[in-house]
Amino acid sequence: MKIFEKGSKKLTKAWAFYDWANSVYPLVISTAVFPIYYSSITSSFANEVGDVPFLGAMWNPTTLYDYTLALSFLIVAFCSPVLSAIADYMGNKLKFMKFFCLLGSLSVMCLFFFQGAETLWVALTFTVLASIGFWGSIVFYNAYLPEVAFPEQQDQVSALGFIYGYAGSTLLLVFSLMMVQKPEWFGISDPGLAPRLTFLLVGLWWFGFAQITYRRLPNNVFNHKPEKDYIWKGLRELRIVLKELSNLPQLKYFLMSFFCFSVGVQTMVLMAGIFGSQELGLPTSNLIITIIFVQVVAIFGAHLFSRLSNKIGNIKTLKITLIIWGGVCLTAFSLDINQPNVDYYFYGLGILLGFVLGATQSIGRSTYSKLLPETHDHATYFSFYDVTEKIAIVLGMFVFGLLISLTGSMQYSVLSLALFFALAYLVLNRVKSTEFVT
C-alpha cells in the first residue's frame, strides 16, 4: 500500500472523505427518515393514550426511542476507552475502524425489516447496534486527525470532513425524499416500502464509500509491535493517558465545556424531527425539506466559521456558536402549535441551527486535537473526547425523555438544553488558548 506523507492533500482528503461515507447515518437514520418512519409506524399500533407495548410494559414511543439511543451511547462510552487503548498499543486503529463501520452499515440495513408491532424489537435492537457501529468507528476516525494533518491544518481539514459529510448525506437524503414522496417514479407500488429501501441504501453507501478512505489511511503510524497480553497492556496504556489528562488543565476545562454543549447539540439534532412532527404538527415532507436546508446551510457555516477561527481563534469562535445555540433553544421553547406561521419560525430556526451545527462540531474536534500533548496515544486520547460526547448524549436523551414524561410536552425539554449551552459558555472562559500547555 502506498504511504502518503502527513499533511498531504491526498491523505487529508481521503481522511475527510470518511465523513462523506458515514454522515448518511446521522442524517437519514438518526435525524430524518427513520425517526419519522418510526413515529408513523408506532402510532399505527399505539393505544388510546399513545403508548406502545414492549417487554411487558407500556411505553411512550418517543421516550422508548430516547432510552434505546441512550443505551447505545452508554455501551460505546464504556467500551471505546478500552478498545482505543488496545488499538494504540497494537497500532491497528484502522482494523477497529473497519469493524465498527461494518457493524453499523449491516445493522442499518437490518432496519429494513421493521414494519409493525411484531417487529418493534428489530427497530430497537438494530438502532442500538447501528449507533454502536457509527460512534465506535468515529472514535478511531477522529483519532487519525493529528496523524494526517499538522496543527495549523487541523481547523481546515476538520471542517472539510464535515463539509464532505453534509454534501454527501444531503445528496442521498434528496434521493430518499424523492423515493418516499414519489415511489411510483421508481416502480414501487407499496408506499411503506420506500423508506425501508432508504435504510438499505444508507448501509451500502456507508460501507462502499468507506473503502476509499481505507485505501489511503496509514495503519500503525508509530510502528508498534504487539506483544502477548495486549488487553492488559492496553488497559495500562489507558491508565497512563488518564493520569496525563489529569495534569492538563486546559484540556480538562475544554472537555468539561465540550460535555455541556454536546448535551445540547446532539440531543437537538436527534430530536429536532420528532419535535417538529409531534410538538408542532408539521407534515413529514416539510420536515425533511427543512433538514435538507439545514445540511446545505451547514456546509457554508462550517467553512465560514473555520475561516473566522483563523482570525479570532477557536475559543472565541466557539463562544459565538454557543450563544446562537442558546438563542435557538429559547425561541423553540416559545413556539406553539396554534401560533400563526409556526412552520416558518421552525424553518428559520432550522436554518440558524444548520449555520452553527457544522461549525460547533468541526471546531470542537480541531480544538481538542490542538490541545493534545505530543503523544503516540491518539486513539486513547480521542476516546476520552468521544466518551465525553456519548455520556453527554446519554444525559441529554435522559433529561429530554424524562421531562416529556413529567410534563407531557417537549418544550421544557428544549428549554433545559439552553441551560447546558449557558454552562458550556461559562466553563469555556477557563480555556485561554489552543496552544498545548501543562
Tens digits of per-residue pLDDT, 36-47? 788 888 888 888
Q: Which residues contact 219 (CB under 8 A, 6 or more apart)?
A: 91, 92, 93, 94, 95
- Whether residue 233 contacts residue 225, with contact meaning beta carbons closer than 8 Å, is answered with no
Say what the pLDDT of residue 232 is: 58
Please state, as a whole number, how many other Cβ atoms lie within 10 Å of the Cβ of residue 316: 12
User: In the predicted model, what is the mean pLDDT of the chain?
Assistant: 82
pLDDT tens, residue order, the chain (438 aa): 566 688 788 899 999 999 999 999 988 888 778 887 888 888 888 887 778 888 888 888 877 887 888 788 788 777 777 777 676 666 677 888 999 999 999 999 999 999 988 999 999 999 999 999 998 888 888 888 888 888 788 888 888 888 898 889 989 988 988 888 888 888 888 878 988 999 999 999 999 999 999 988 876 554 455 555 555 555 565 666 667 777 788 888 898 999 999 998 888 877 776 777 667 777 766 777 777 777 788 888 888 888 888 888 889 999 999 999 999 889 888 877 777 777 778 888 888 888 888 788 888 888 888 888 776 566 677 777 777 887 888 888 788 878 887 887 788 888 889 999 999 999 999 887 665 444
Beta strands 52-54 and 57-59 are antiparallel
pTM of the model: 0.75
Which of 264, 280, 225 minimizes the C-alpha distance to 410?
A: 280
CA distances (Å), origin 266, targets 42, 69, 269: 23, 11, 5
The per-residue b/e assignment along 417-431, b for 16 or more CB within 10 angstroms, e otherwise, is bbebbbbbbebbeeb
- Whether residue 414 contacts residue 276, with contact meaning beta carbons closer than 8 Å, is answered with no
The two counts, helices (H) then strands (E), for the chain are 16, 2
The per-residue b/e assignment along 72-99, b for 16 or more CB within 10 angstroms, e otherwise, is bbbbbbebbbbbbbbbbbbbbbbebbbe
**Per the structure block, which three cell numbers stand in for 184?**
411510483
- Phi and psi at 142, nearest 5°, equal -60, -35
Conformation bin of residue 373: beta by default, left when phi > 0, alpha when psi is -120 to 50: beta
Domain 9-218+228-428 -> CATH class? mainly alpha
Which of 38, 52, 54, 177 minimizes the C-alpha distance to 111?
A: 38
State the Cα–Cα distance between residues 359 and 305, nearest whole angstrom: 6
Q: Which residues pair with 53 in a beta bridge?
A: 58
Which of 215, 160, 145 minimizes the C-alpha distance to 20?
A: 160
Say what the pLDDT of residue 221 is: 52
What are the structural domain ranges in the chain?
A: 9-218+228-428
Which of 87, 427, 72 minimizes the C-alpha distance to 241?
A: 87
Measure CA 182 to chain center: 29
Say what the pLDDT of residue 111 is: 95
- Whether residue 67 contacts residue 54, with contact meaning beta carbons closer than 8 Å, is answered with no
Can you spell out the DSSP letters for 355-392? HHHHHHHHHHHHHHHHHPPS-S-HHHHHHHHHHHHHHH
- Phi and psi at 375, nearest 5°, equal -155, 160
The helix/strand/coil state of 135 is: helix
- Whether residue 258 contacts residue 425, with contact meaning beta carbons closer than 8 Å, is answered with no
Place of cell 480521542: 382
Residue 5: exposed, middle, or buried by beta-carbon count in 10 A (0-12, 13-18, 19+)?
exposed
